[in-house]
Structures are given as C-alpha cells and as structure tokens.
Amino acid sequence: MELVRELSREVLHRDSPHSTKRNPQWWRGDMPTPAREALHERITAELLAEAPKVEFNRLALVMAGPPGAGKGSIRKEILGDAEEQFLVVDADKFKEKLLEAAVEDGSFEEWIKPKEIRELEARGEVFYPLEFAALVHEESSYLATQLRDDEMERGRNLVIDTVLADPAKAVALGEQLEAAGYGVRVVDVEVPYEVSEARIRQRWEERYTEAVAGKDVLGGRWVPSTYAREVYAGPGRSSMPRESARRLAEECQAVTHYRVYFTSPEEAKKAAATPTLEVNQARDMEDEVPRALRDVKKPAGGRMKPPTPPRPTTAPRRTPPTKGRSGPERD
C-alpha cells in the first residue's frame, strides 16, 4: 500500500502524462475523438441499461461527503424500494467502465500503464487496474457531468453521488437543477479525516485481497492521500463537502430537504456503525414562495423516510447526447 501511496504523488497522479485525456489519439483539447466518443456512448448506454426502472419525475437526491463516509449505505436507507426509480450518476462507475474497456482492447498496457510501473512489475510487484483510477479521473468526471446534464434535460430521477468539494460548483448545480424544474434533497454524509483515511485503506485492502484470489479483476481503487486531505480544507479543518452541501441547501430554493449524517471515530470502530442524523431541515412553501429551511423533528433512531415520488410520467424518446461538451467539472 505504501508503494501505491508514493506512486500516486506523481506517476499515478490524475495530472500524469498518462492521464487518458492527454492521449492525442483519444482527445483533442477538450473534445474526444470520434473513436473515443463512440466508446463513451457505449459505456453510457450500458449504464442506462443497468437502470431500466428509472422514472421521469424530476426528482434529485444530491449525496455529498468525503471518500469513505458511507454515502452508498445512507442512499439505500433513504430511498429504500424507490432506489430503482433513480439513476445514480457516479464518476466512479465510469472509472471502472473505462478501465475495463482499456484492459479489453489492450490500451491499458499500451498507453495507460507508465513505464515506472512496468519496471516495478519486472521486479515482481503486482498492480491491478483500479489502482490506476486517477489516470481516468478527468475523463470519468467529464462523462458523469455529460450524463447528468443530458438526463436532467429529460427529467429523469437522479442521484448525484459526488464528493461535492467545491462550494461554488455546488451552488451552480443547485441553480441548474432549479432551472430544470427539479425537486431536490441534499444529504451530506460526514466522517472525520482519520475515519475517511482508514476506510479508504480498508476498501483498497479488501478488493486487493479479492484480486489476488482471482475474485476481482479490477482490484481496489486507491484515493490519493493528498486528495483526501484537500477535502478537509474547510473552516476548522472541517470537510469542504459540508460547506458545499450547506450552501447548496440554503441558496437553492428547489431544495426541499437537507440532512447531515455524522459518524464519530468511536462509532466507526463498531462492526455495524450507525451514523447520527445531526441536521434535519425542510423548506416549506407559502403562497407558492419557498421559505427558509427550518429544523424538523428527527425520526426515531435518526432514520429518514424515503421520498415519495409522484405518479411517473411517460418517458420521453431518447435523443442523441449533446455534442461539444466543455471539460469536466471536478468534484
């Protein structure tokens, strides 16, 4: 693990010369080449096909929080049986798809893998594709943003699962959702830095072990320590997602509910850690004018009720993705 940590500082950094967006055969400036765009369309189609029951009610659940905070578990708790009615937009899914495609067509060995890694492999070190996830970071962010924007135009129910580390971009996302006529819930899932770091390590170790045993060909995804630390650059070393989620909830009038969950270091040590619901707010309407967020009674046990979507509307005919997107938005 220490070797991967060291390599992520430069060789496996997202700004490395081996970043997929720096390959002139795949990208020209901020635009993918026709062949690369065909791959993008195939990957996007695969992800949409994996969510056949998504409905078109213009509902959005924005999940924010540091790496390893447990956003996925909270999302399942919130949505319950309604989860299949939402399309999850998560750049990590695109990372896996891009790396799978690269392994399949040989470009993982030919282009993505740096010579420094080859030299280490020649000395007996073993690496797995997801340890190179930073090299597809920019491209996966581009694809996630494109999917989000395209499906927002169509009114598809969305779960926007992101770190949400930039407050200005969070507010811009809220404005975009509001302009598209969405009802928005914001959920911030928080852990201290030491818990985030420990969980990143644990997840990597678990998937690495599975890869060694032949059960997981992609291995574990490593989140660079420098990035994890940057996420905790908020006031008093709090996380940037906390500030971003708060501003999004307060400044976007389309936000109907705002929640903050927190897992303490002590709770995180338990086999089945239960996050505490620290903030539970809702925005009421008065004469069709949104009011400020207000505290509401916390559910028993700190649990949240899943949103009740309105009656589904007929899905519109899918149109081709919008061409000429600008570069990706970083989390």
Q: What is the DSSP string of 136-153?
A: GHHHHHHHHHHHHHHHHH
pLDDT at 24: 96
pLDDT at 291: 74
Q: Which residue has the higher pLDDT, 223 or 319?
A: 223
- What's the whole-number mean pLDDT along residues 15-27? 95
CA distances from 147 to 43, 141, 165, 312 (A): 11, 10, 20, 21
Task: Please state, as a whole number, how many other Cβ atoms lie within 10 Å of the Cβ of residue 227.
Answer: 18
Lowest-confidence segment of 144-153, 265-274, 315-324 by average pLDDT: 315-324
What's the burial of 210, exposed, middle or buried (CB within 10 Å: 0-12/13-18/19+)? middle
Sequence ranges of the domains in the chain: 2-302
Task: Please state, as a whole number, how many other Cβ atoms lie within 10 Å of the Cβ of residue 17.
Answer: 10
Q: How far apart are CA 252 and CA 178, in angstroms?
A: 7
Q: How far apart are CA 23 and CA 4, in angstroms?
A: 23
pLDDT band of 320, cuts 50, 70, 90: very low
Using a pLDDT cut of 90, give the percent of the chain over it: 66
Q: What is the pLDDT of residues 267-317, one digit of tens each?
A: 999 989 999 999 999 998 665 666 788 888 765 444 444 444 444 444 444
Say if residue 328's pLDDT is above 80: no
Tell which CATH architecture fits domain 2-302.
3-Layer(aba) Sandwich (3.40)
pLDDT at 287: 57
Nearest to 252, CA basis, from 329, 173, 168: 173
Q: Which residue has the higher pLDDT, 242 or 210?
A: 242
Which range in 259-263, 306-310, 316-320 is most confidently predicted, on average pLDDT? 259-263
pLDDT at 327: 44
Task: Please state, as a whole number, how many other Cβ atoms lie within 10 Å of the Cβ of residue 122.
Answer: 8
Q: What is the pLDDT of residues 51-109, one digit of tens each?
A: 999 999 999 999 999 999 999 999 999 999 999 999 999 999 999 999 999 999 999 99
Task: Please state, as a whole number, how many other Cβ atoms lie within 10 Å of the Cβ of residue 302.
Answer: 15
pLDDT at 316: 45
Interior/surface letters 52-63, b for 16+ CB within 10 angstroms, e for the rest: eebbbbbbbbbb
Q: Helix, strand, or coil here: 224?
A: coil
Question: Helices in the chain by DSSP H: which ranges?
Answer: 2-7, 34-49, 71-79, 91-105, 107, 115-122, 137-154, 167-179, 193-212, 225-231, 240-251, 265-268
Say if residue 21's pLDDT is above 60: yes
Say if residue 249's pLDDT is above 70: yes
Using a pLDDT cut of 70, give the percent of the chain over it: 83
pTM, two decimal places = 0.85
Question: Helices in 225-270 by DSSP H: which ranges?
Answer: 225-231, 240-251, 265-268
Lowest-confidence segment of 1-5, 49-53, 73-77, 208-212 by average pLDDT: 1-5
Mean per-residue pLDDT over the chain, rounded: 87
pLDDT at 229: 80
Q: Which residue has the higher pLDDT, 300 or 6?
A: 6
